[in-house]
Amino acid sequence: MSMMILLISTITMILASIISKKTFMDREKSSPFECGFDPKSSARMPFSLQFFLIAVIFLIFDVEITLLIPFILIMKISSLSIYFMSLSFFLLILLLGLYHEWNQGALNWSI
């Protein structure tokens, strides 16, 4: 039975490769962009470093917010005082990081 399945799948793959209109030297594939349009300007376009820094800070704080989700589950298990101390310590670290980024000027959007 397994030999029959292997034979049928091999024949199907061979027929599909023979029937398909596949060319190895396609004009769109050999161009710099796969969309088929020739580039009219340089591919190295400058981008704002401030935007990059804001995006990285957003990703860091987004990951840290996902770390807050287990605190909801821990609330049922631990005592209330330990829960609030650990949660406030975690939030204090987040706020100190935000204050540091603000103090360094990474959050100022300037041209």
Q: pLDDT by residue (tens digit) across 17-35? A: 888 766 555 555 555 555 5
* CB atoms near residue 50 (< 10 Å): 15
Q: What is the rounded distance in angstroms from the CA atom of residue 111 to the CA atom of residue 107?
A: 13
Q: pLDDT by residue (tens digit) across 48-96? A: 777 777 788 888 878 888 888 888 888 888 888 888 888 899 889 888 9
Number of domains observed in the structure of the chain: 1
Whole-structure pTM value:
0.46
Spell out the alpha helix ranges (H) of 37-79.
Answer: 49-66, 69-77
Residue 57, domain member (yes or no): yes
Residue 54, domain member (yes or no): yes
Residue 40, domain member (yes or no): no
8 A C-beta contact, residue 96 and residue 74: no
Both tokens assigned to 41: 């300007």
Residue 62, domain member (yes or no): yes
Could you tell me the residue range of the domain that residue 73 belongs to? 49-104
